[in-house]
Structure 1
Amino acid sequence: MDQIIGRVAAGKVTDENDGYYFVQIEGATFQLDKNEIKKPLQLGSNFRGFTYENESHKMQITRNVPKIQIDHYGFAEVVGFKHDLGIFVNIGLPNKDVAVSLDDLPTIRSLWPSVGDHLMIALKIDKKGRIWGQIADEEIFNAIAKPANNKMMNKNVQATVYRDKLAGTKVITDDYHLGFVHPNERDVEPRLGQHVAGRVIGVHPDGSLNLSLKPRAYEAISGDAAMIFAVLKHSESGQLPYTDKSDPKAIKKFFGISKGQFKRAVGALLKQRLVTEDEQFLKLTEKGIAKVVE
């Protein structure tokens, strides 16, 4: 049985009921959901599919073979977790999420993947015939990586965290370049499997990248500018009746800051093209509307 589970195997249809065909492979019987089959199968027909134990602990076979298999790696979305077991990922099976053991996850619980994060895994079968997700190791990422070139310098990239270490964070970009984030180049340590936005601050001779997860100086919003931007974002109309022509007392009463502070903050937002200003209103631009408040 252990040589069949979690693999593509072929067998014969030996029985059926209203909902399932039953396929026998090397003496073991697997149920096949009839909803998967467009043309009825005959008893004695050959059928080939992916075998697994479903969440009801029944042996099942499906024609919808997942891309992630034993020794076949791919990204799987995290769909749940159980503190005393690990996390669960979706590999495309109709009624089975695959567990990744807590033994393979970071010891710091806050660095565990969250729902919606993605891990690169293959499948493995334990001694009891249970399917587990096996996280890709360094060798796998080195094998699938593409070398970057110097033209990448200062480019924005999107990447997925595949290793958390005290010395820094290892990521693979959406274009399959390997990257490293030094602790000084991040405000918080990202989770394993988290999708992050960064920029290239170095290109190594081997084609790997040094990345920063911190915004460029001109992209950062802080202090009074962040406060004003947040107020704008939470206003129904995306605008406020305050400008550099407004009365200082009105500004002080509404924002709690001086007119000078207000003008400097608005200047920072204007420079980043997050707002526009006319005679009467401070307004969000399309870029400002799209930007998420940190």
Structure 2
Amino acid sequence: MNIGKTQTLKIYEHNSSGFILVDENEEKAFLPKIFAPENSLIGDEIEVFVFQDDDKLKATTEKPYAEVGEFAVMNCVQTLPSGAFMDWGIIKDLFIPYTQQKLKIQEGRRYLVYIYVDEKTGLITGTTKFKRNPQYTDLPFKNGDQVDLILMGESELGWNVVINKEYIGLIYASDVYKKLYPLSQETGYIKTIREDGKIDVTLQPEGFAHIDEFQKIILEKLNENYGLLYLSDKSSPEEIKDELQMSKKNFKKAIGGLYKDKKIEILEDKIRLL
């Protein structure tokens, strides 16, 4: 039984309270009746999330915000001297011991949480203590891949982020072109997987394959400004960032394409819609 993971189990027997499910090794988990699909029969297979409750294995068809080995943003629903309970999307709350709290967790506030199985207790546990910019091997990414990001927080180099719920990476400050907020979610792109196993991420796709996106932004801004935009290939990266939330590199590629398509005119200090 894969504790803390979504998996497919078979209905072995049922009673008035629910169903007994088994895996290939005949290990059992209990699925309360309220979570079972209607007309479920013995022998049917069902996809469930397995967790522990009072030293017993239970199952639910609810979808947790994250599984073991993943990060998620969770709200604290209760605090005790021994730890905090977090809402992680299923009927049972996730416990974070006091010793696994980077800062004391406060009820009603949101936190980034990593889920793991404690080696000593064998219990699914949460923590707000995790390594920054860890080194990875055999990553399932290549440069340019689109990924989902959770913003962890700002550092001297830029922003630390969680990638696809599982990996920690970095957006360099020079690649940030808009206001960012901790715990918010963004779409990102793998920029570089370094030899030391660290991951660099950018908020904007790179290369001509994605240039239409930036052309669209420029055309929309031109239409808003009555056909004029006081930016050119001589404008500073800061000016372009403030006005369009894109890099100067992508700006120059975009206006080059628009000029070639005869959609704009490039002047000394501005561009004009044709």
Structure 1 length normalisation: TM-score? 0.46
Larger Rg: 1
Structure 2 length normalisation: TM-score? 0.49
